[in-house]
Chains A and B, each alone.
Chain A
Amino acid sequence: MILKRLLTAPALFAAAGALLAAGLLLAFLYAPTDSSSMGFSQKIFYYHAPIAECALLAFAIAFVAAILYLRSDDPRYDVLGMVAIRLGLLFSLLVMATGMIWGRAAWGVWWTWEPRLTTFFVVCLLYTAYFVLRQTVEEESRRATFAALFAIVAFISVPFTFFATRLMPSGLHPVVIGPGGGGMPGSDLLAFFVSMIGMTLLLLAMLRQELAVEHLKEELHHLKNRIGA
């Protein structure tokens, strides 16, 4: 009962807000300024990396929802997958925008065809195509089946993006968490993990809210059908 109350959208939004504010304070007041060539612009990292992880997490949720839909034919999983991909794209948009700004500050260019950026760009294109696919199929169960299959296939690109810097080190994008610890001092890690947890809670809050909206839309649709409005 208590857990259920804690997992409501407003409670999750409040917890996310508090942790994100704490993460920001830790990043600017506690974590030292990067001594490498990145300098102060490295402060973008504390929200940029958690947003990227959340985008990939949202796509992973959609992947699991797609498998569950194909196994059960339960339309709730189709809605969950759609909402997760929508939020994944929103977070991806933020990653691309903040990444471009950081790239300009750190590398002197807005864009470079570096492995992580390129694979992330491909992920964005793939998941945008998911919504194009949904628009083209009218019949509900066929649309849900095609969308689920597409979400499963598209997810293949996600691990490539995550491991891009490890598999194809270009020297531009650093490995944050790796076997060697990623080279971040403890104070950096604290600010990063607090922001990371905050951002994950924000994603879950938005997911819950979007699901509630979709549920409300469905209720309205059924009510209209019943009264012939």
Chain B
Amino acid sequence: MTLAEAVKYVAAAYAIILIVLVAYSMFSARRISALQRELQVLEEAVDKSAKRLGGE
């Protein structure tokens, strides 16, 4: 195998590692922000109902 061919394989292997790890990071970050948004909505709902109960 020539050096040029070997370089292509090595580059492909490291590119796959990079792509998978970056995709994982993006997926993970999206999941965390979605959960945080959901948590915020729930906290607001809890605050509103607490205020309503306090007012009654």
Interface residue ranges, A against B (CB under 8 Å): 24, 39-41, 43-44, 47-48, 51, 90, 93-94, 97-98, 101-102, 104-105, 202, 206, 209-210, 212-213, 216-217, 219-220, 223-224, 227, 229
B28 contacts A41, C-beta separation under 8 Å = no
B39 contacts A44, C-beta separation under 8 Å = no
Restricting to B1-56, which residues have a CB under 8 Å from any CB of A? 1, 3, 5-7, 9-10, 12-14, 16-17, 20-21, 24, 28, 31-32, 35-36, 38-39, 42, 45-46, 49
Instruction: A213-B31, A220-B42 given; name 20 further pairs at CB < 8 Å.
Output: A39-B3, A44-B13, A47-B13, A51-B17, A90-B24, A98-B13, A101-B16, A104-B9, A105-B1, A206-B28, A209-B28, A212-B32, A213-B32, A213-B35, A216-B32, A219-B39, A220-B38, A223-B46, A224-B42, A227-B45
Closest chain B residue, CB of each to CB of A34: B6
- Lowest 6 CB-CB distances: which A-B pairs, in order? A40-B6, A105-B9, A98-B13, A44-B13, A41-B6, A101-B13
A43 contacts which chain B residues (CB < 8 A)?
A: 10
B16 contacts A94, C-beta separation under 8 Å = yes
Closest chain B residue, CB of each to CB of A224: B42
- Tell me whether chain B's interface is mostly helix, strand or loop, or mixed: helix
Listed by A's residue number, 25 A-B pairs whose Cβ atoms lie within 8 Å are: A39-B1, A39-B3, A39-B6, A40-B3, A40-B6, A40-B7, A41-B6, A41-B9, A93-B20, A94-B16, A94-B17, A97-B16, A97-B20, A98-B16, A98-B17, A102-B9, A102-B13, A104-B9, A105-B9, A206-B28, A220-B35, A220-B38, A220-B42, A227-B42, A227-B46
Interface residue ranges, B against A (CB under 8 Å): 1, 3, 5-7, 9-10, 12-14, 16-17, 20-21, 24, 28, 31-32, 35-36, 38-39, 42, 45-46, 49
B14 contacts A216, C-beta separation under 8 Å = no
